[in-house]
Structure 1
């Protein structure tokens, strides 16, 4: 496979260099902002060597190459278009301009939370290890090892406002270090820490007659998001009127003072109420509807993936972890994802075309590992009926995990990797999660196999 030849040919099929506004790539896909997508030869792009599928979503034309290969193709693609000096931020902004307001909002949340996922996953795994040590009496809770692991495991959730502050400030075009400072203000040691503490009451401050609770925002999501958004507006506004000679002195000072007061007086309490309200509403639906909620959410999640809005759910999941200490949404999403893999596996056994088989098998296993785009856009959605089969499998698998109260202690991992963050909540939780996966995959496989596929006989 000659990566340069693929890149050159791809540029031709996309309508030429002038039709390509910007480019970037993720773990599996080449992401492009195109001037006129009607100039793209979709059929030939999908038949190109190494391509597992192509689709338009979230203001971008995305071509699936798979892990590893996409980096090599992008390197040659960037050379041909002289993109080496262009920043990913420019591409992101170009993509946003082609989105509707809802998609743009979802993309913003995605850009903020996706970089934080490794820290949350690490803390979740450490919590699991700590829980196992405690449950099986492997280590005395009074030992230094246990106490250190306890600090390691909870740190990411305690400083979550700082992590979000940095990421959100970057996304809103503000100084990320000011975002970190604002996050630090919201979790200052002088404030009562409600995260993980069941007892105690916060003190009260008297600010010019205004009573303010000295309650911290450890583990919260919405307060820091709103605070940093307001901070970014203040910083940009101040910077416009402050002379360059004193900008370094005046702008950060005014920004932090103003944002800090606004955060404590208005944004913080409002954000806490909003976040708690969302968690309470979701929990009530989850408990009242039960398996029916699983059927609906699990069956429709793959449709949501098509819009790209699903990445914004990380904000809701983070809120659940802060408010109730567990994430019951992730197992539902996981059932929908592995079901896509089950349907893709059925396509592999039904397909006669070598190209289809070549794409379907690795794409299916990719879905079992939590990466669904290759199998959704490269296989199941192309033949439509397997996608329907996957929705059925995802719905039934999700109904089961909801019925059995399966949950996770972090977010970001689905499929087989999610075992690591399901196990810490108990053996029953883990076993029921695995049973749910078997239901989702097997039902999706059988349904997709029963519905069948219709291949284009003209293609080899």
Structure 2
């Protein structure tokens, strides 16, 4: 598939011309536009361009799916042809955020914080999965783990576990870095703040529950004020709020302290004040809020597992469309910290593979359009590996009924997992390799749920396509399918 000047000019024209673009950048697979008026976009013309695999609007950005390895070349030509300057992702985010309402801005902020640390979390999840293979009982041997039988592997398993657990042990440092950077402060101070909250001199947060029961929680005595001397390992809200305070305090001080002495005063004052606030007010309050949220989610899935699985599995794809799915990453991390595993993330896997199955079915339904058939196959493979945007926006939402079929399959698969209390020890690859993050004793119901989430959408997509052909608009529909429109 060639990349020539005419093709890139067509993309530029389809999004409303260079005068309709405030800024443009790209990620691994997509062009990301901050447009003045999205109503000027000609989506039909855009998606008829061979290079374009789909398009959608999310978080105030209009995104055009091109594909890995190609998008950067298209971007270079787009910049040359349009005369627009190269923009960073921050430039596009700043332009697009002007159009968002408060809720959308809050969701976007969480997304901006957690997406940069995802590689570390997913890598940790995959390594923990490898550790599960070595240490899980009943996988290779009856009632025994691999390292029970082959003791010479224990040292290797211990090292893998140490490497994998590091991202979760020092999670506040990762969040602190990303959050302070997002809020406009020095990200290195964010790392320090996160490490302060998990300092080895503090009582580990995982021991807090038992310490409360036994009355052995350590305290500082600050002139008569007793402050609990506990860490916040695995916690999300304490470091998020503390990072916001640190960044805003740093900005406030920089505006008022002369440049010549900023190095001596800004960071020490900002860290000292934020540290005291974190241990005295922010930590205890947000720790309680985090536990409250966890208890609500756990309560729903404990008492109404079918309902919880159906709703979350069925609606997760809609959350992806709106961009709100990123907010649940914080909930997943909180669940892993508080109850030792998350039952939400496995349901996410069901939604992803369901979208892939529906897109794969469309490959057999679409008859003549080779581009769309190819897109259906490649986007299905991508979804099976955890990246659903090409399948959702390039195929399923375009025809509507595959998207609905995937939602139904994901709902049933999600309910199956919820009833069987399937949990993930960590966050991993949200597709077929996702089983590595699941506790090994729950692999059976997880694979059953995955089979349901693949077979049901695949079959329903064919069934719905038959009904479409027989509807009053059957002739028009048949023409669309034949032409790949």
Question: Into which bin does the TM-score normalised by the smaller protein fall?
Answer: over 0.9
| Alignment of 1:417 onto 2:417 | no
Point out the more displaced range, 238-247 or 216-225. Answer: 238-247
Deviation at 1:412, TM superposition (A): 4.7
Aligned 1:263-412 pairs, distance under 5 A = 263-354=278-369, 355-412=371-428
Deviation at 1:131, TM superposition (A): 3.9
Q: Deviations over 1:168-209 (max 9, x none)?
A: 011111100111111111111210113479866441110121
Name the Cα RMSD after superposition.
2.2
User: Matches of 1:356 and 1:132 in 2, distance apart?
Assistant: 39
- Contact persistence 2:183–2:247 (CA under 8 A): yes
Q: Secondary structure at the match of 1:212?
A: strand
- Contact persistence 2:128–2:426 (CA under 8 A): no
Q: Secondary structure at the match of 2:359?
A: helix
- TM-score, length-normalised on structure 1? 0.94
- Contact persistence 2:25–2:87 (CA under 8 A): no
Q: Deviations over 1:377-408 (max 9, x none)?
A: 11111111111111111111111111122121
Query: 1:102 — aligned with what?
Result: 103
Point out the more displaced range, 85-94 or 325-334. Answer: 85-94
User: Matches of 1:103 and 1:141 in 2, distance apart?
Assistant: 52
User: Matches of 1:247 and 1:290 in 2, distance apart?
Assistant: 55
Q: Secondary structure at the match of 2:457?
A: helix
Aligned 1:230-241 pairs, distance under 5 A = 230-241=245-256
Q: Deviations over 1:219-250 (max 9, x none)?
A: 11110000001111111111111122222222
Deviation at 1:23, TM superposition (A): 1.4
User: Matches of 1:97 and 1:219 in 2, distance apart?
Assistant: 33
| Alignment of 1:432 onto 2:445 | yes
**CA distance change for structure 1 residues 341 and 126 in 2, over 3 Å: closer, same or farther?**
closer
- Contact persistence 1:29–1:63 (CA under 8 A): yes
| Equivalent residue in structure 2 for 1:188, among 187, 199, 207 | 199
Q: Deviations over 1:257-312 (max 9, x none)?
A: 11111111100111111111111110000111111211111111111111011112
Query: 1:175 — aligned with what?
Result: 186
**CA distance change for structure 1 residues 139 and 156 in 2, over 3 Å: closer, same or farther?**
farther
- Contact persistence 1:141–1:147 (CA under 8 A): no
User: Matches of 1:141 and 1:326 in 2, distance apart?
Assistant: 29
User: Matches of 1:251 and 1:226 in 2, distance apart?
Assistant: 19
What runs of 5+ residues in structure 1 fail to find an aligned partner? none
Deviation at 1:456, TM superposition (A): 4.8
User: Matches of 1:96 and 1:416 in 2, distance apart?
Assistant: 34
- Contact persistence 1:158–1:195 (CA under 8 A): no
User: Matches of 1:3 and 1:152 in 2, distance apart?
Assistant: 42
Query: 1:90 — aligned with what?
Result: 91
- Contact persistence 2:208–2:230 (CA under 8 A): no
| Alignment of 1:152 onto 2:168 | no
Q: Deviations over 1:7-61 (max 9, x none)?
A: 2221122222121111122232211110112222211100011211112221011
Deviation at 1:321, TM superposition (A): 0.8
Point out the more displaced range, 127-136 or 15-24. Answer: 127-136
User: Matches of 2:196 and 2:54 in 1, distance apart?
Assistant: 46
Aligned residues: 457
Deviation at 1:148, TM superposition (A): 3.3
**CA distance change for structure 1 residues 213 and 295 in 2, over 3 Å: closer, same or farther?**
same
Point out the more displaced range, 358-367 or 76-85. Answer: 76-85
Q: Secondary structure at the match of 1:3?
A: coil
Query: 1:14 — aligned with what?
Result: 15
Query: 1:74 — aligned with what?
Result: 75
**CA distance change for structure 1 residues 362 and 141 in 2, over 3 Å: closer, same or farther?**
same
Deviation at 1:133, TM superposition (A): 3.3
| Equivalent residue in structure 1 for 2:461, among 442, 448, 456 | 448
Deviation at 1:353, TM superposition (A): 3.3
Point out the more displaced range, 320-329 or 357-366. Answer: 357-366
What runs of 5+ residues in structure 2 fail to find an aligned partner? 136-144, 469-476
Query: 1:223 — aligned with what?
Result: 238
Q: Secondary structure at the match of 1:347?
A: helix
**CA distance change for structure 1 residues 379 and 223 in 2, over 3 Å: closer, same or farther?**
same
**CA distance change for structure 1 residues 61 and 291 in 2, over 3 Å: closer, same or farther?**
same
User: Matches of 1:300 and 1:275 in 2, distance apart?
Assistant: 23
Deviation at 1:81, TM superposition (A): 4.0
